[in-house]
Amino acid sequence: MNRFPEKHNMFFCKSCPLESIRNEPSPELCRGHIIRNFIKECGSKCGCNAQCGNRVVQRGITCNLQVFSTREGKGWGLRTLDELPKGAFVCEYVGELLTNTKLHEMTTQNMHNARYSVLLDAGWGPDGVLKDEEALFLDATFCGNVGRFINHRCCLLILNLLIVMLF
């Protein structure tokens, strides 16, 4: 985790799918996306054992987590009851894979319901543009786990998403 996300390399897209799903007549300019690192996760084809240091995600949640109602009235949140070292794995974010078009359609139909969506920004093209059917979101609104309660929209400082590559 990094308390100062501006120190990361940022990517600014010309037509941001994350801003366009908010259903506003003139969406805001892209706020930037962190160019993310990867977690190398050993798999069944690797010769290591279950205690290998590259099997973090497979072990699941190892810290005490608590879903709680936020004081600010922003809904539910997730916190750990343990002190964690910087960069520690907390949980995987599980959800339904949706295109920007489908997510926009679902958001328009249910404006009163909160959405728990994360833009998967690993596949940006060289021009910084993704078509609506190419931009993918992981949406945990109807299918997800405790990761949906990590407040990734209001406080960008607490969540560092990493793509897992299985070897």
Residue whose token pair is 């920004």: 121
49: which 2 tokens? 């054992």
**Amino acid code (one letter) for 67:** V
pTM: 0.58
- Return the H-helix or E-strand segment holding 106: helix 100-109
Which residues make beta-bridge pairs with 1? Answer: none
pLDDT of residue 30: 66
pLDDT of residue 152: 53
pLDDT of residue 1: 28
Domain boundaries in the chain? Answer: 5-166
Q: What residues of the chain score a pLDDT lower than 70?
A: 1-39, 110-134, 151-167
45-60: pLDDT as tens digits: 888 888 887 888 888 8
pLDDT of residue 37: 60
> Domain 5-166 adopts which CATH fold?
Beta-clip-like (2.170.270)
pLDDT of residue 43: 80
Cβ atoms of 9 and 94 closer than 8 Å = no
pLDDT of residue 167: 46
Cβ atoms of 42 and 36 closer than 8 Å = no
pLDDT of residue 8: 47
Neighbour tally for 112: CB within 10 Å? 4
pLDDT of residue 65: 93
CA of 35: how far to CAs of 96, 122, 152, in Å?
23, 8, 16
Pairwise CA distance, residues 38 & 109, whole Å: 35
